[in-house]
Copies of this chain bind each other. A is one copy, B any other.
Amino acid sequence: MAQARRYAGGVDGNRSLERGIEILRAFRPGVDTLGNGEIAERTGLPRSTVSRLTRTLVNSGMLDEVRAERAYRLAASVISIGHAMRTGSPVLNEIGAMMRAESAKRRLNVGLATADRTMMVYLESIRYSPRAALRNVVAGQQVPMELTSLGRAYLAGIAETRREQLLKLFKRRSAAATKALLADVRTSISSVERDGYCAVSWQPAVLAVATPIVLEGLPVYALNMSLQNVDRSAALASELGAYLNAFAAKCKEVLASR
């Protein structure tokens, strides 16, 4: 009857695979282990189904079983695949080294991110610190799209229809302060259109600027620069913005000739 399509109120696709992926997603940063019960709760799937799917994920090497606590944790395979994603990314390959150099030269944080649903996820985030030992690089960390310069630059870079979809999702997500927030987001988007970048101070004493990178055949990325322990000032923002615009121009040049 059904032709591998449109199962109970869904879109095309393979239900078991979708559910298996949902289970993997249930492991968020900070969550170490999850038992089948907790997974069932978080995903809304029947317990017996979860039991079978986690078994499959263990066999496929995506989950490790912790027999003692009857629980599972993400296995090493997931970072292998993550690594394949990063090394496969043409953008990161081309400009990763430039980002490091720029971070060292300007003494600030430089990041490259793209969207995962309604979050921005860093492909690379180079954290500058005066002490060399504290400098570090993070990949995979998520920050909220609507609250960050990265996310707003991304929104400015994507197709309008998609942007409006996402804005609706934010509205549904945060009950309070929605109106002001959305206005803020739109201001940032205009700022990108006018100046090439937007500045947001999402976290206290951190000033961040970001700009979109739009390339044919690739998802939209956003590039950012940020400084910790500073007072937010318009002058500083426009200085950072100028650095960012110059750097982004250099990146786009390199990427265009790939």
Interface residues of A (CB under 8 A from B): 4, 11-22, 24-25, 27-33, 52-53, 55-57, 59-62, 64, 66-69, 73-90, 100-101, 104, 114-117, 119, 121, 123, 132-133, 135-142, 216-219
CA distance A25 to B67 in the complex (A): 26
- The answer to whether A14 and B52 touch across the interface, beta carbons within 8 angstroms, is yes
Given A74-B88, A75-B85, A79-B85, 17 additional A-B pairs, CB 8 A? A13-B52, A13-B55, A17-B57, A18-B60, A27-B84, A29-B87, A31-B88, A32-B88, A66-B217, A76-B114, A78-B82, A80-B121, A82-B139, A83-B121, A83-B141, A83-B142, A132-B132
Question: In the assembled complex, how far is the CB of residue A117 from the closest CB belonging to chain B, in whole angstroms?
Answer: 6
CA distance A140 to B89 in the complex (A): 15
Closest to A68 in B: B217
Decide yes or no: A74 and B84 within 8 Å by CB, A59-B13, A101-B133, A123-B79 being known contacts.
Answer: yes
- Chain copies in complex: 2
CA distance A75 to B81 in the complex (A): 10
- The answer to whether A87 and B217 touch across the interface, beta carbons within 8 angstroms, is no
CA distance A115 to B67 in the complex (A): 18
Decide yes or no: A83 and B82 within 8 Å by CB, A73-B88, A88-B30 being known contacts.
Answer: yes
Decide yes or no: A76 and B123 within 8 Å by CB, A14-B52, A104-B133 being known contacts.
Answer: yes
- The answer to whether A133 and B79 touch across the interface, beta carbons within 8 angstroms, is no
| A87 / chain B contacts, CB cutoff of 8 Å | 29-30
Contact of A24 among B4, B15, B25, B81 (CB under 8 A): B81
| A55 / chain B contacts, CB cutoff of 8 Å | 12-13
- The answer to whether B217 and A61 touch across the interface, beta carbons within 8 angstroms, is no
Contact of A83 among B24, B29, B132, B219 (CB under 8 A): B29
Decide yes or no: A69 and B217 within 8 Å by CB, A20-B17, A79-B85 being known contacts.
Answer: yes
- The answer to whether A11 and B59 touch across the interface, beta carbons within 8 angstroms, is yes
- The answer to whether A119 and B59 touch across the interface, beta carbons within 8 angstroms, is no
- The answer to whether A14 and B16 touch across the interface, beta carbons within 8 angstroms, is yes
